[in-house]
């Protein structure tokens, strides 16, 4: 039997399913009407989004002065939110690319939604540097194109420009990776569709996918190569984001451990966001048989590992800063000065949400519990936001010149834009959950006989 799998491995697809059942289950959210809860969630998200548009319009119309920035703290909420959103995006690529290379079959139930989350999160991230330019219409200055200033080129030595290239490559490659995987699933929806309008839309989206043997052969090769390309790409993105800080000369920022530490933190926060979203989605779309306790536990184990890397990095930063004996190091985000200074609450939020709370995942009872996983994932989302806020605001608030020390207080515009991006993100995700096949059904069908509960039981009985 080519589909044999050890009985000790837990099944990834529960219940008695046939190939057709999988199609029906995954098409259901698209073919049925949205319920009241969806509309309530969508309305709230839409209102938040509109509020954000208002705040952005006000910023662009009046200027960056509407934000709480000052002479010392030239970027705070915007860059915090940028790094936070980019970090969240990382889990999608990790799940679809790295876990593909490692042949982890549990990825198939969650990769589609995680990649959607990646793309939507990178949209939010990209907004912040664009708005912070002040003159958003001059955004094309970041591209190396001949221009009216006697061909003054962009500066390829600058980590900020590396970021432009990294984020655009990341967004566009993630998008085609996602879309290529979607083609067979859109085709399935298209061929099931009864209403002519729906059929038309899904024909358009599926690019006329037919599922010929040659197409599948190419499809699998393309997926593998894209995974191979996306793996170093995703590591490069947060490495470069960390270089925005690490290549500067501020104490607390000028740190060689930033790249690996940021990448681990990104995966940590990204998995937490996947956990938050799927915790709700599996219930709402009735996909409990596909996104099982095992999936939740596996994600929690990745969270525990990357959380451990992040905690180690914090301790290293704290110790090395103290060990230098330099007085400047007492004002970095990982120092006694930060823990007892005016931003003590931000410091201790970071410690509590990012180091203490995730440790509960060591207990199997906690990491296999849906509700606890959900609550811990929200704590990590908050903690990782504070990590970026601490790195930026605490470090900048106390620079080399004590007379220039200051504080950052967000204005309602800062807060409004952040809320707006949360709204925009959830608007996109809620629309996605009703119109896209949220599980890569073609891939899941390939593992049905191997890891489906019914097929496994059947085999185990015949072996007895």
Partner 1 sequence: MSKKYYVVHASYNDDEVLMDAVKAVRAEDHDIEEVYTPFPVHGLDKAMGLKPTRIAIASFLFGVTGLLTAMWLTKYTMIQDWPQDFGGKPNGTYGQNVLSFVTILFELTVFFAAHLMVITFYLRSRLWPWKKAENPYPSTTDDTFVMELEVEKDLDNVKALLQKTGATEINVTEKIDTEDYE
Q: Shortest Cβ distance from residue 153 to partner 1 (Å)?
A: 4
Q: Helix (H, G, I), strand (E, B), or coil: what is residue 19? A: helix
- Of 115 and 317, which has the nearer Cβ to partner 1? 115
- Of 108 and 303, which has the nearer Cβ to partner 1? 108
Q: Shortest Cβ distance from residue 347 to partner 1 (Å)?
A: 32
- Return residues touching partner 1 (CB under 8 A): 2, 18-20, 23, 144, 151-157, 161-162, 165-166, 169, 172-173, 176-177, 180, 183-184, 187-188, 190-192, 203-222, 224-226, 229-230, 232-233, 236, 240, 243, 442-443, 445-446
- Of 191 and 297, which has the nearer Cβ to partner 1? 191
- Of 29 and 358, which has the nearer Cβ to partner 1? 29
Q: Shortest Cβ distance from residue 378 to partner 1 (Å)?
A: 33
Helices (H), 247-326: 258-284, 293-324
Report how far residue 413's alpha carbon sits from residue 53's, in angstroms, rounded to the nearest whole number.
10
Place of tokens 């929806």: 189
For every residue of 25-56, DSSP letters joined together read HHHHHHHSPP-HHHHHHHHHHHHHHHHHHHHH
Q: Which helix (H) or strand (E) holds 160?
A: helix 159-192
Q: Shortest Cβ distance from residue 293 to partner 1 (Å)?
A: 25
- Of 7 and 211, which has the nearer Cβ to partner 1? 211
Strand partners, 452: 13
Residue closest to 446 by CA, chosen among 219, 194, 118: 219
Q: Shortest Cβ distance from residue 229 to partner 1 (Å)?
A: 5
- The answer to whether residues 175 and 122 touch, using CB atoms and an 8 Å cutoff, is no
- Of 236 and 453, which has the nearer Cβ to partner 1? 236
Q: Shortest Cβ distance from residue 15 to partner 1 (Å)?
A: 16
Report how far residue 265's alpha carbon sits from residue 260's, in angstroms, rounded to the nearest whole number.
9
Q: Helix (H, G, I), strand (E, B), or coil: what is residue 13? A: strand
Q: Shortest Cβ distance from residue 90 to partner 1 (Å)?
A: 16
**CA separation, residue 43 to residues 83, 417, 418 (Å):** 27, 18, 17
Report how far residue 365's alpha carbon sits from residue 372's, in angstroms, rounded to the nearest whole number.
9
Q: Shortest Cβ distance from residue 204 to partner 1 (Å)?
A: 5
Report how far residue 89's alpha carbon sits from residue 124's, in angstroms, rounded to the nearest whole number.
10
Q: Shortest Cβ distance from residue 140 to partner 1 (Å)?
A: 15
Q: Answer positive or negative: Cα dihedral of 101, 107, 112, 116.
A: negative
- Of 153 and 319, which has the nearer Cβ to partner 1? 153
Q: Give 452's DSSP letter.
A: B
- Of 204 and 315, which has the nearer Cβ to partner 1? 204
Residue closest to 282 by CA, chosen among 297, 295, 272: 295
- The answer to whether residues 394 and 317 touch, using CB atoms and an 8 Å cutoff, is no
- Of 140 and 345, which has the nearer Cβ to partner 1? 140
């Amino acid at each position: 039997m080519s589909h044999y799998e050890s009985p000790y491995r837990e099944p990834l697809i529960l219940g008695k399913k046939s190939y057709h059942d999988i199609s029906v289950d995954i098409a259901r959210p698209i073919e049925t009407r949205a319920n009241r809860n969806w509309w309530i969630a969508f309305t709230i998200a839409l209102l938040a989004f509109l509020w954000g548009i208002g705040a952005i319009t006000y910023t662009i119309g009046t200027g960056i002065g509407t934000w709480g920035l000052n002479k010392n703290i030239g970027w705070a909420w915007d860059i915090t939110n940028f790094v936070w959103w980019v970090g969240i995006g990382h889990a999608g690529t990790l799940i679809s690319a790295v876990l593909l290379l490692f042949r982890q079959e549990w990825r198939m139930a969650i990769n589609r939604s995680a990649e959607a989350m990646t793309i939507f999160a990178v949209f939010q991230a990209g907004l912040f540097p664009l708005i912070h330019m002040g003159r958003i219409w001059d955004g094309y200055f970041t591209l190396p194109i001949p221009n009216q200033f006697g061909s003054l080129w962009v500066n390829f030595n600058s980590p900020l420009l590396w970021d432009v290239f990294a984020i655009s490559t990341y967004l566009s490659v993630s998008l085609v990776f996602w879309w290529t995987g979607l083609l067979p699933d859109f085709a399935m929806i298209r061929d099931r569709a009864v209403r002519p309008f729906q059929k038309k839309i899904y024909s358009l989206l599926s690019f006329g996918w037919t599922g010929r043997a040659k197409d599948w052969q190419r499809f699998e090769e393309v997926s593998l190569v894209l995974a191979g390309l996306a793996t170093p790409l995703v590591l490069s993105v947060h490495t470069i984001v960390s270089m925005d800080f690490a290549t500067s000369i501020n104490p607390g920022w000028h740190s060689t451990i930033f790249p690996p530490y940021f990448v681990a933190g990104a995966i940590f926060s990204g998995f937490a966001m996947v956990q938050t979203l799927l915790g709700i989605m599996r219930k709402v779309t009735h996909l409990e048989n596909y996104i099982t306790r095992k999936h939740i536990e596996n994600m929690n184990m990745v969270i525990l590992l990357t959380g451990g890397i992040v905690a180690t990095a914090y301790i290293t930063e704290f110790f090395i800063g103290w060990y230098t004996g330099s007085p400047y190091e007492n004002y970095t985000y990982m120092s006694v000065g930060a823990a007892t200074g005016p931003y003590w609450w931000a410091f201790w939020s970071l410690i509590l949400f990012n180091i203490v709370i995730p440790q509960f995942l060591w207990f199997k009872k906690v990491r296999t519990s849906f509700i606890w996983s959900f609550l811990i994932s929200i704590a990590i989302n908050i903690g990782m936001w504070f990590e970026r806020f601490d790195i930026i605001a605490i470090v900048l608030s106390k620079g080399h010149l004590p007379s220039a020390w200051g504080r950052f207080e967000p204005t309602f515009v800062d807060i409004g834009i952040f809320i707006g991006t949360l709204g925009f993100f959830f608007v996109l995700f809620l629309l996605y959950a009703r119109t896209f096949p949220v599980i890569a059904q073609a891939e899941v069908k390939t593992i049905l006989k191997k890891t489906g509960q019914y097929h496994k039981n059947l085999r185990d009985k015949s072996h007895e």
